[in-house]
A = this chain, B = another copy of it.
Amino acid sequence: MSSQSLYDEYTRVMQEVADIRYAAAVLQWDQETYLPPRGAEMRGRQLATLSELAHTRFTSEAMGNLLDALSAAGGLNPEQQANIALSRYDYDKNRKLPPAFVRQTSEAVNASFHAWIEARKQNSFAIFEQPLARIIALKQQEADLLGYTTHPYDALMNDYDRGLTVATCDSLFTALKPQLLGLLGQIREKNQIDDSILYQHCDRDAQWKFGLELLKRMGFDTDAGRQDISEHPFTTSFNSRDVRVTTRINETDFANMTWSCIHEGGHALYEQGLPYGAYGLPLGEACSYSMHESQSRLWENNIGRALPFWQHNFSLVQTFFPEQLGGITVEQFYKVINKVQPGLIRTEADELTYHFHIMIRYGIEKQLIDGTLSAKDIPACWNDCYQQYLGVTVPDDRQGCLQDVHWSHGSFGYFPTYSIGSLYAAQLYAALRAENASVEEEIARGNNHRLLEWLRQHIHQYGRLHTSEALCTLATGKPLDSAYFIDYATKKYNNVYL
């Protein structure tokens, strides 16, 4: 077979696997948005069947032989070579986990997820402890199966950001932490901002329409995507011309919907910017969870909590919510939406204290995986850290170490990508501004074109071609450096807290 016929066969199989995976994604989207309650049981088995089908097909001997033949064949162009190399990497990684192990993990996750729900209901970590310990043991085993050079946690982080290591995270967080503490200390000395204006009653329907209009103004193509309601906001994609975001609406928390919309909008613009022609192939997929988070946070914070964006869009806020927000200026609005307040809950944190929530989880996860911390010791460790980093006392486990679903899902190594994503966002935004001196003036006039084009050109178009680290260097000229975030945050909060 010629290398082109081999490559065509590879594309065919990959796109078939993608069809199955994306069909599963449609079923998941439906599960979170429209599924009637009694349909949940069979939906579970339908999803399991599709996942297993996609996995079996991708990890088949035939696929291995095809990849071998393609490596040997030569005559492929650089893009094709990149796809093959990335598929090879995925294939080898998937093959390292024996089917029995995958099944055990899946069963353990199911048990621990239900234990977590129950533990939260009863506000008792003890209920979650044993199932979590089982997940941790399996994750340690997974790290061993996947292999690592330095730290077992590296093997797990790889799933979310290929090449991200404990060494890198430690170095970034070590640099970040004292600077953040310093900034937080300065803010504490200033008069606190009163943001109660954001918690007035805002009509559900008006919030929905406002959020959707914001998405459109960001550049979200509603002919190639849509927004729906779900309990927890998320973005999913079935190809770059069918990208779906969800939001939730709390009538006494206008901010929650607004920045959730902008955040998911950032994810969605990334997905809509991926190359449509590479459907089903690695180059048609996003780079990493970290880079994905860089896009959502760049929009949410660097753009969406900055003055220029609201100089154009605040009139929209006032049109939709004249009684609630008609009486303040955009400058006052800008301050109110940037209030810094240490708190207990990660998802409600401001963009400064947010990093502490992540550093705490990162520290705990690392120790759980290398065995220096046991499941039973999590609550004490958690509560100490919150006192030490944020000066807040954790009243109970529900508002403490039981607040996030991730561990019950077995998602160890995921949390760091939230902070890393913010750091990438700051660095990318700095590069973008350096290259386009007038970009903020344009944004202030409602023109996001240059901004979006820069992201499309420097990030979106590449798909998975580069690792996050390489892509950052390519886009900004330098590897990731937390100084950009600190610089951004210092300037912002000097403005906000006079």
Q: CB within 8 Å of B: which residues of A?
A: 15-16, 19-20, 22-24, 26-27, 30, 34-39, 41-43, 45-46, 48-50, 53, 221-226, 228, 238-239, 241-242, 279
Q: Which residues of B contact A38 (CB under 8 A)?
A: 221, 223-224, 241-242
Bound state CA distance, A34 and B50, in angstroms? 22
Give Cα distance in the complex from A49 to B221, angstroms.
27
Could you list some 9 contacts between A and B, CB below 8 A? A19-B45, A22-B46, A23-B26, A26-B26, A34-B228, A38-B223, A39-B239, A42-B239, A53-B53
Kindly identify which residue among B24, B43, B224 contacts A39, using a CB–CB cutoff of 8 Å: B224
* Interfacial chain B residues near A241, Cβ < 8 Å: 36, 38-39, 41-42
Q: How far is the CA of A223 from the CA of B24 in the complex (A)?
A: 22
Q: Which residues of B contact A48 (CB under 8 A)?
A: 19
Complex Cα spacing A223 to B35, Å: 9
Report chain B residues within 8 Å CB of A41: 241
- With the chains together, A24 CA to B20 CA distance in Å? 10
Q: Is the CB of B223 within 8 A of A37?
A: yes
The interface residues of chain B lying within 8 Å CB-to-CB of A46 are 19, 22-23, 26, 238
Residues in B whose Cβ lies below 8 Å from that of A27 = 23, 26
Check A36–B239 contact: CB distance below 8 A.
no
Closest to A22 in B: B46
Q: Which residues of B contact A19 (CB under 8 A)?
A: 45-46, 48-50
Which residues of the partner chain B approach A15 to less than 8 Å between Cβ atoms? 45
8 tightest CB-CB pairs across the interface, nearest first? A39-B242, A19-B49, A38-B241, A42-B239, A38-B224, A19-B46, A38-B223, A37-B223
CB-contact partner of A43 in B20, B34, B224, B238, under 8 A: B238
Residues from chain B with a CB closer than 8 A to the CB of A238 are 39, 42-43, 46
A50 CB, min distance to chain B CBs, angstroms:
6
B20 touches A49 (CB 8 A): yes
- Known interface pairs A26-B26, A35-B242, A38-B221; 7 further A-B residue pairs with C-beta atoms within 8 A, sorted by A's residue number: A23-B23, A36-B222, A37-B223, A43-B238, A43-B242, A46-B238, A53-B53
Minimum Cβ distance to chain B for residue A463 (Å): 16
Q: Which residue of B lies closest to A30 (CB)?
A: B26
Q: How far is the CA of A409 from the CA of B5 in the complex (A)?
A: 34
Q: Which residues of B contact A239 (CB under 8 A)?
A: 39, 42
Q: How far is the CA of A330 from the CA of B478 in the complex (A)?
A: 78
Provide the bound-state CA to CA distance between A20 and B23, in Å: 9
**A226, B34: Cβ atoms under 8 Å?**
yes
Q: Is the CB of A225 within 8 A of B36?
A: yes
Q: Which of B34, B42, B224 contacts A279 (CB 8 A)?
A: B42
Q: In whole angstroms, how far apart are the Cα atoms of A15 and B223 in the complex? A: 35
Nearest B-chain residue to A226, judged by Cβ: B36
- Which B residue sits closest to A20, measured CB to CB? B49
Contacts of A49 in B (CB 8 A): 16, 19-20, 23
A279: nearest residue on chain B (CB-CB)? B42
Could you say which residues of chain B place their CB within 8 Å of the CB of A24?
23
Q: Which residues of B contact A30 (CB under 8 A)?
A: 26, 30
Best-buried of A42, A50, A238 by chain B (most CB within 10 Å): A42
- Which chain B residue has the least Cβ–Cβ distance from A221? B38
In angstroms, Cα B104 to Cα A367, docked, is 60
Query: Residue of B at shortest CB range from A16?
Result: B49
Bound-complex Cα distance A48 to B20 (A): 11
**Minimum CB distance partner of A17 in chain B:** B49
Closest approach, in angstroms, between the C-beta of A234 and any C-beta of chain B? 16
CA of A15 to CA of B35 in the docked complex: distance in angstroms?
20
Q: Shortest Cβ distance from A225 into chain B, in angstroms? A: 6
Residues from chain B with a CB closer than 8 A to the CB of A36 are 222-226, 241-242
Shortest CB distance A150–B (Å): 41
A222, B38: Cα distance in complex, Å: 9
User: Complex Cα distance A239/B40, Å?
Assistant: 10
Q: Which of A43, A48, A223 has the most CB of B within 10 A?
A: A43
Beta-carbon contact of B23 and A50 below 8 Å: yes
Q: How far is the CB of A220 from chain B (nearest CB, A)?
A: 11
Closest to A225 in B: B36
Tell me the bound Cα distance from A48 to B15 in angstroms. 12
- Among candidates B16, B50, B222, residue contacting A20 with C-beta atoms closer than 8 Å: B50
User: A242 CA to B35 CA in the complex, in Å?
Assistant: 8
- In whole angstroms, how far apart are the Cα atoms of A415 and B68 in the complex? 53
In whole angstroms, what is the CA distance A238 to B23 when docked?
14
Q: How far is the CA of A37 from the CA of B221 in the complex (A)?
A: 11
Which single residue of chain B is at the shortest CB-CB distance from A237? B39
